[in-house]
Structure 1
Amino acid sequence: MNQITVYTTNTCPYCTMLKNFLNTQNLAYKEVNVQLDQTAANKLVETTGQLGVPQTEINGQWVLGFDPETIMNLVK
């Protein structure tokens, strides 16, 4: 089972595209809205050095932005 977490904000069109892509691939994910969760936002910057969204953690690997090819390479 894949562990997928998508970090998003309310106003990010690529976040919506990414979630739609995961849904069409039938990949379950957890969404963390960093706009609403400052602690998660701080942790994200500490972990990846990036505040931009979407950022997706897949089985411990990070994907920055909307990158379906990399996502499909990382899922089991």
Structure 2
Amino acid sequence: MVKVSMYALSTCPWCRRTKKFFTDRNIPFEYIDYDLADEKEQEKILEEMSKYGGSAFPFVKINGNVVIGYNPEKYSELLGL
């Protein structure tokens, strides 16, 4: 089973497009809106993102592969679509 998770910003148009990409294809995903998370959760998110050299949203993990930014071609590739 494919595991998709994402860190996003509630105000980010690219984050909304990314959520729509997965929703439109009926691909289950989990997400946390960084800007709506509490301070402790935000620290945890930044720590995880920094492990992968990421500092931009959306920050998407598909089966352990990281995609930073809105990149539907890469999402499709990793999902085998």
TM-score (norm 1): 0.84
Which residue of structure 2 lines up, in the alignment, with residue 52 of structure 1? 56
Q: Note the C-alpha offset of 1:6.
A: 1.4
Q: Which has the higher helix share?
A: 2
Ranges in structure 1 where 5+ consecutive residues have no aligned partner: none
Q: Which amino acid aligns with 2:4?
A: I
Aligned equivalents of 1:4 and 1:11: distance in 2? 21
The equivalent of 1:7 in structure 2 is 7
* 1:2 aligned partner, one-letter code: V
Determine the C-alpha separation between the residues in 2 that align with 1:11 and 1:63: 19
Unaligned runs of 5+ in 2: none
Q: Could you state the TM-score of these two structures normalised by the residue count of structure 2?
A: 0.80
* Structure 2 residue corresponding to 1:63, chosen from 64, 67, 75: 67
Cα deviation 1:2-47 (Å, max 9, x = unaligned): 1101111111000011111111111110111111223343233323
How many residue pairs match? The answer is: 76
Aligned residue identity for 2:34 = V
1:34-73 CA-to-partner distances (Å, cap 9, x unmatched) read 1122334323332332232101011111000000111111
